[in-house]
Amino acid sequence: MSQQGDRPATTDDWWGRLYDESARDTGPAGTPDDTIDDRFDSAADTLGGGDDLPSTRTYGHAVDAIAVDDDEDDAGDDEDEGVGPASRPPAWWESPGGRPVTRTPAPATESAPAPAPESAPAPAPEPSVPTPAPVAPAPLTPRPRAPWEPPPAAFDPTDPAADPTPPPAPPPAAPRDPRAADPRPPAPAPSPPPPAPAPAARISHVGDSPPTYEPEPTALPPADAEELDQLVADTVLDGARYGTYTLRAASLRGDSARYRGEPRRDALLTARFGAGPGALVLVAVATGARATEGAHLSAADACRWIGGAVGRSHSRLAEDIRAGRRGDLKSGLHRLTDRTYGKLRARAAELGRDPEEYTASLRCLLLSADPDCRTRVFFGVGGGGLFRLRDGAWQDLEPLVPEPSAIRGAPVVGYGSVPTGAGAATEQTPDGDRLTMDLEITKAPGPLVEEPVPPPPEPFRFRASVARPGDTLLLTSVGLAEPLRGVPALGDELAARWADGEPPGLATYLADVALRAKGYADDRTAVGVWEA
């Protein structure tokens, strides 16, 4: 009941009396312990709460995946009130029976005022904007996993709900009796791969000792400023592929010429006339006379003039090769070769030199570009070599011709020759009469010959052969033909290198042709034809 004589308060009147405008405000708390937590405790006591009252400060441990720590806010409130966090008495929900809440104490700063004694009330602080001190971020405390959350996929050492105990290891297998037979067949041991064959070392010479000269050029030939077009290179390399064959051609200066600074006497010409299957390929190799001035010029002239003659008649020559007219080819090529040597003699007369000094040996190959034609034609005059590698063995295809000194003419009847002996019987008629009579008439003296008779010219060489797949035809000058015939090891080495039947590259072919042998230092020119 009311102590002022008013009417008693009813149940509905307490709300109005509590918020009556005439009621005087109680003002700030008189003790430093008047905080939000204290007021919460007072309200809980007024409502009659106890230990079974659910705690309302569970926002720091919500069911969220991220734990929130509100200690920084509390630390800020305590700092504003001027009371340290250690001076607050523990709340009822922090009792051992309640749910613990992890609190991180805020670090003490120098700017916080010292707490006032409890006997005297603390004066109200002046309104000012506090300067917050830098606060280190509080470490996040892992929360326990809720019952409805699935277990983690893998063990996380930072998760307190994870079981750090590893799963039990399977029991060890019982030892097997070594005397018992294994029912499973033993696995075959992997066989090591076969070792790769080591590449054979390529030799640079054949024979017991290397040649005397160095294998590389040392001196250049002399040059004339007004006649630079007469210079020849140390090495010439060429190649092509037509129809069923592959062509390789190389010409290089000999070791002796490289050492003495002399020009290369060998000349090489590779030319194609026409196009398509009717095209004709000419390869000409010429060698100037030894120990003569301008020998390289006569060899170059011979190649150029025979090339021009073949080029002007290439259509007829290509047709004869494909048709296999060997007689027509031999007579026609003989005429073209004679014209070439006639020009050489005329050129020697212009230079005021003997024809024997300004001449050259000439050897040529004619190859058809038609894939259906495998006829290979060789012709020429002078020394050299023509070889064929078939089934791993060399064959010498040089046409057999008699020596120039062995070429003699038979006596002609009617010019004073009287056969005697066994040959006289063939001089009679069927009736036994003699065709001539020995009248013992003194023969007139023959013409006076003041100068020796010039030796007969070199015979014309011709050969046409049909190539087979896998053959290798080799046309060479004297500088390579002589060691091939005189040093069997050189031919064996080249046969081993070309045994697979595949044409070598240009650089490899040049190295093969340059394979040296002691005692042979002349220029080398070789033309190889590999049949597919």
Residues 94 and 219 in one domain: no
Residues 276 and 380 in one domain: yes
Residues 106 and 250 in one domain: no
Q: Look at residue 21 and tell me if it is in a domain.
A: no
Give the Cα separation of 261 and 258 in Å (integer).
5
Which amino acid is residue 472, in one-letter code? T
Q: What is the count of structural domains for the chain?
A: 2
Q: Look at residue 475 and tell me if it is in a domain.
A: yes
Last residue of a domain, one of 96, 122, 145: 145
Q: Look at residue 469 and tell me if it is in a domain.
A: yes
Residue 143, φ and ψ in degrees, nearest 5: -90, 160
Residues 362 and 508 in one domain: yes
CATH code where residue 482 lies: 3.60.40.10
Give the Cα separation of 144 and 159 in Å (integer).
8
Containing structural domain, residue 92: 31-145
Of 444 and 315, the structure prediction assigns the larger pLDDT to 315
pLDDT digits (tens, 9 = 90+) for 72-122: 444 444 444 444 444 566 666 655 544 444 544 544 444 444 444 444 455
Give the Cα separation of 299 and 250 in Å (integer).
16
Residues 259 and 117 in one domain: no
Query: Does the global pTM surpass 0.75?
Result: no
92-99, long-range: CB within 8 Å, 24+ apart, which pairs?
92/41, 92/44, 92/51, 93/55, 93/57, 95/51, 97/51, 98/51, 98/55, 99/55, 99/58, 99/61
Helix (DSSP H) and strand (DSSP E) numbers for the chain = 10, 13
Last residue of a domain, one of 145, 164, 198: 145
Give the Cα separation of 304 and 81 in Å (integer).
118
Residues 117 and 214 in one domain: no
Residues 253 and 111 in one domain: no
pLDDT digits (tens, 9 = 90+) for 280-327: 999 999 999 988 888 999 999 999 999 999 999 999 999 999 999 999
Indicate the range of 187-201, 221-235, 388-402 predicted with least confidence.
187-201
Q: Look at residue 344 and tell me if it is in a domain.
A: yes
Last residue of a domain, one of 94, 129, 145: 145
